[in-house]
Structure 1
Amino acid sequence: MQGRFHTFHTKALMYTSYEDYEATAKWLLPQTEQRPKVAIICGSGLGGLAEKLENRDVIPYRDIPNFPQTTVEGHQGQLVFGTLEGHQCVCMQGRFHTYEGFDVYQVTYPVRVFSLLGVRTLVVTNAAGGLNSSFSVGDIMLIKDHINMPGLVGNNPLCGPNDDRFGVRFPCMSDAYDRDLMALAQQTAEEQGIGAFLQQGVYCMVGGPTYESIAEGRALRTLGADAVGMSTALEVVVARHCGLRVLGFSLITNKVVMSDDDSTLKANHAEVLVACNNRAQDLQGLVRGILAQMPLDPEDL
């Protein structure tokens, strides 16, 4: 692999050194006066949340040492530092995916950088297909658990030598999504009058970039997944390895076809972006409301 990454080879695996993460963090610190405690990863069509930040510093990915470059429509490709509801934050307007050709270490690279910047809470958002028949397009699913399909077959960002400076060798994932933050999200949704379309469920990450076949959709639903997408789980694994609290949301942008009778209904990215735009303001308002009620010191939650 060529480029600025210092890569090590263990069989077919390549991973990034602590010094690379540290170099990126040290480069970012002088670019902004913000010292974020909250990081927000904005999924497809959901980057508008970063526009709500005050005292913004915008840094394109192309300028940041060791950062990949997003190639997906609807992802602007920049970090936005600023203040939201009193919290110093950093937003990713655009994330990275394995289907773009990035490995799992590149996909999750920003999360470890955020931890070195002092971030203690990670909010992840994504656009997802609904597998649960009770979900409607436009629902917001509060992620209570995930199925990391790439990780289950060995494509896990924690493969390779463990660096104890980030976390332990065998991190627990049974508490990946913070229960206190989930309760706060549910309370905030009720207060904002959007509780009727806030669901809870299990998110399943698949590799993409194809949408699921009918048989695949049925299989994922049988496994217990309520929504499916092509991101998020890898970032959450690394966040938990680093000791970050995680809150996750999926915006249900389409229903996954799971019947031959519905086979003429074809998911496409343009429709996903339209669905995001129709509900994005509600999701942005929900995240802002949660931050407004979060203690400035995450340990006080």
Structure 2
Amino acid sequence: MNTTAPYGLKEVNEAVAALRGRMVSAPLTAILAGTGLGDMVDACEVNARIAYGEIPHFPASTVESHAGYLVFGALNGQPVAILQGRCHLYEGYGPRTVTFPIRVLHSLGVKNLVITNASGGLNPEFAAGDIMVIADHINLTGENPLVGPNEEAWGGRFPDMTAAYDPALRQWALEERDRKAGRLREGVYVGLKGPSLETPAEMRFLRTIGADAVGFSTVMECIAAVHGGMRVLGLSTITNTCRPDEPAPAQLEEIIAVARDAAPRLAAIIAAVIGRLSEADPDAGR
């Protein structure tokens, strides 16, 4: 058996070494911006913008609307790192490759990870444009980034997932409901491998097992982050609704447009949570 893990500690350390000299200050919070949400960086004071191709071993996204930059800057006065785009299992990447950026952020000292995505709304009460705070997830990808030899520098062999999405961060996000966040929901996200969208029968099944929203990302990154001891906040923009009894084709252009329209509200929620982090921990932005 070949126990040499691709995208292992050596590759992570090489990426970290290339990035350290380009950071103005080391962020303790990172934001992973999903489909159509990369424009959130407009709300930040940018110090450095680094193309994924300039970072050793960093995987490149092949998906439209994923710009492919790692941005260092400040949001709400606090240093942050923003991943403008991600790679996905459906692009042919393995789970260790998909989570490589999370391992790099962890090794740079990031303690808090905000994961955003565009998703289809399974809950009949959800509407396009809603933002859902992820309370929990269901992994139906058939993959896990922890399969294979465990790297003790990243975390223990069997990480506990009973509170994968940090309860305090979720509560802080939900408290923005009455401000400028618009329609803010809470629910369970189910991750599929994709890229084909769901059949009506699959929509019914996913709703039956307790899912409120469905997408093709987030689960791998959350598992890797929890493995590394990071606090995770997940935010899904509901870009289309999945109605099995009234099925309608989902158009990529419309999905991206809805996500981009929601980006300022999403940025406001994230900025508020980052502000609360700095209040709770004075060292959170150092």
- For structure 1, the 5+ residue unaligned runs are 1-7
Give per-residue Cα distances to partners, 1:136-189, cap 9 Å, x unaligned.
Answer: 111100000000112xx3x21000011111111011111100011111111133
TM-score where L is the length of structure 2: 0.94
Give the Å deviation of 1:298.
4.7
Unmatched tracts of structure 2, length 5 or more: none
Partner of 1:244: 230
Matches within 5 A, 1:124-273: 124-150=115-141, 153=142, 155-190=143-178, 192-194=179-181, 197-259=183-245, 262-263=246-247, 265-273=248-256
For CA contacts below 8 A with separation 6 or more, give which structure has more relative contact order: 2
2-structure distance, mates of 1:60, 1:227: 31
- Identity in percent: 40
Question: What's 2:270 paired with?
Answer: 287
- Whichever structure has more helix as a proportion of its residues is 1
**Superposed structure 1 runs of 4+ greater than 4 Å apart:** 296-301
> Is the Cα contact below 8 Å between 2:124 and 2:243 reproduced in 1?
no
What is the identity, as a one-letter code, of the residue corresponding to 1:252?
A: I
Deviation at 1:55, TM superposition (A): 4.1
Give the C-alpha shift of residue 246 in structure 1: 0.3
Q: Alignment partner of 2:36: what SS?
A: coil
Is the CA contact 1:120–1:298 (under 8 Å) kept in the aligned structure 2? no
Q: What SS class does the counterpart of residue 112 from structure 1 fall into?
A: helix
Deviation at 1:296, TM superposition (A): 6.1
Report deviation, 1:101: 1.2
- Could you say if the C-alpha distance between residues 298 and 41 of structure 1 is closer, same or farther in structure 2, counting changes exceeding 3 Å? farther
Deviation at 1:269, TM superposition (A): 1.3
TM-score where L is the length of structure 1: 0.90
Report the alpha carbon displacement of residue 52 of structure 1 after superposing the two structures with TM: 2.1
> Quick check: 1:25–1:116 contact (8 Å CA) kept in 2?
yes
